[in-house]
Structure 1
């Protein structure tokens, strides 16, 4: 299994996003290899995988599913590489997962923005502000100045940094553009937008900063990724349709954007109420 893991890291892992690479390496080194590393890949049984998944599920059911998915992919590739003859992870039932969608309320957003604008850590604060454009965390943290046209106000995300592995070109709002122009003026020689302590490489994590800001803003239960959901919900309230929202978020499949369809309930209700009021106001109309 150690050899299979090494082959996986060498042949398949480079095709995944940086965030996925880090996650896979973490799972391999902290879970899969300590448990199965010394076993022969061809001798791993369905029962072995199921037992590992069941044990992990008692504490971290979602993480257990990620481990199962990685094992299944490894054995699927091992089949192609003619290392094994079966995939022992196939058929192991995954834990049910509920899609979690948390949206900042208008008051929460106001409190958050107040904290970010006044915060002394401008690099981390500005990174969170750029997340409010609907970008993913690693798209923001790995951003370089070469991706931005500060004249036209466009951010062109390279395929290597996007989840869909496709070039994604999006317009920037005036506040986001103003923030970026200020950062560029303050560090004209930097190649990365959000540099770390060495001023040359990008920062890699802002989780502690985020937790601190949320505490100060009195916001509970919000992840950094929920800012992306908040961006989408705000677009809905402003009248944007699903195709436009999907385009701005970089979705390649319509069903991915459909998770926001329920947010249209209130705008649709308001529309039919306006129509109903208009119809009821037509001369000669009589209600039953």
Structure 2
């Protein structure tokens, strides 16, 4: 060790100066011919490179080590095992360690920090514990599914600091083969969690930044008046009454499926004309108070109040699955490729066709950002076209009638 080269010699497991023989030149031949001690281990130090030595255990395992002092404290770091490491390679690494020590860096502390550094699995555990509870249950469950089935199997064992742009890009590319939209959703989640890692001081940059997303074609499906009639007829004849009432409720309110399934009687005012959705049940995590139509009130009045949930299953708990009913009624109505969520779009399209403004539609749907409602702007084409036709007709009517004299005898308009 530095300043103590005369005692940097072979030692047994007691590691005391009295038990150390004279130092020798550590070579591959010497390492191969070392005799294992009866118990414990013995270290043979190199005569030239201070603190460097080879350790052999009673079982015959050989490894290279470096003893050094750092801030007055004696430390020992294992370089690697023989024969995976040659003497030449081990000495080179020992010299690198000694350079770090000279620059005020403790190589053993660096190794321990790296060993204890959080992995992507640790990152998800903290995200799951601290952040997912703030999201709607369905959104949280979807993100957990992404981690469990997609992200953690590929990146879970990696240290957060070791994840690279290439790792994240390869993950996105692998999912994109058959699920390009899902790949984008996973990428969003990965970016979000690594941004949190930056906030927590785990890393300094986001390895998922600047990855190009897959092109998405926004799919908007609106039921026509004829399709609505056929759907209502199918709902009226299907035997699963509770599931059918949920679907009618979604069409009449424009709410999301999870909001409908979780609707409780105590969320409605006594007259059943105001529905106040708690923040915990909405996608935006904000309370949403919205009036409902008299048709919704009639639907609610037709429901039994045997449970706290408006749409309860046989055991009194909230209904959880209406996919089979939707598949049956949409097929019976001949709707083709239509999703339950398209009922929400249909609600917005009907409101737009009746001349309601985008802010009103956004308030009814519970949107907190205007750009979310802006997707429905094109639905105003028909009423705007009708208004344009009225203006055009008035202009040509005025031309046909000729100038109109005013009271003072002046023609035209001011």
Q: What is the TM-score when the length of structure 2 is the normalising length? A: 0.66
Report runs of 4+ in structure 1 exceeding 3 Å deviation: none
Q: How does 1:17-96 map to 2 (within 5 A)?
A: 17-96=136-215
Shift in Å at residue 150 of structure 1? 4.5
Secondary structure at the aligned position of 2:202 is classed as: coil
The higher-RCO structure (CA 8 Å, 6+ apart) is 1
Q: How does 1:54-203 map to 2 (within 5 A)?
A: 54-132=173-251, 133-151=253-271, 153-183=273-303, 186=304, 188-199=305-316, 201-203=317-319
Name whichever structure is richer in strand by fraction: 2
Secondary structure at the aligned position of 2:289 is classed as: strand
The corresponding residue for 1:270 is 386
Shift in Å at residue 205 of structure 1? 2.5
Structure 1, unaligned stretches of length 5 or more?
Answer: none
Secondary structure at the aligned position of 2:131 is classed as: helix
Cα distance between partner residues in 1 of 2:217 and 2:147: 25
Structure 2, unaligned stretches of length 5 or more?
Answer: 1-119, 404-414
Shift in Å at residue 100 of structure 1? 1.2
Q: What is the TM-score when the length of structure 1 is the normalising length? A: 0.94
Verify the 8 A CA contact 1:154 1:172 in the aligned structure 2: yes
Q: Residue by residue, what CA displacement relative to the aligned partner does 1:229-267 show, whole Å, maximum 9, x if unpaired?
A: 100110111111111111111112222211111111111
Verify the 8 A CA contact 1:150 1:181 in the aligned structure 2: no
CA RMSD of superposed structures (Å): 1.5
Cα distance between partner residues in 1 of 2:208 and 2:314: 43
Verify the 8 A CA contact 2:222 2:343 in the aligned structure 1: yes
Cα distance between partner residues in 2 of 1:150 and 1:118: 30
Verify the 8 A CA contact 1:157 1:167 in the aligned structure 2: yes
Give the direction of change, closer, same or farther, for the CA distance of 1:218–1:36 in structure 2 (3 Å limit): same
Verify the 8 A CA contact 1:150 1:177 in the aligned structure 2: no
Shift in Å at residue 41 of structure 1? 1.7
The corresponding residue for 1:250 is 366
Aligned length: 282
Cα distance between partner residues in 2 of 1:275 and 1:82: 62
Verify the 8 A CA contact 2:272 2:300 in the aligned structure 1: no
The corresponding residue for 2:70 is none
Secondary structure at the aligned position of 1:156 is classed as: strand
Verify the 8 A CA contact 1:149 1:155 in the aligned structure 2: yes
Higher Cα Rg, which structure = 2
Shift in Å at residue 160 of structure 1? 1.1
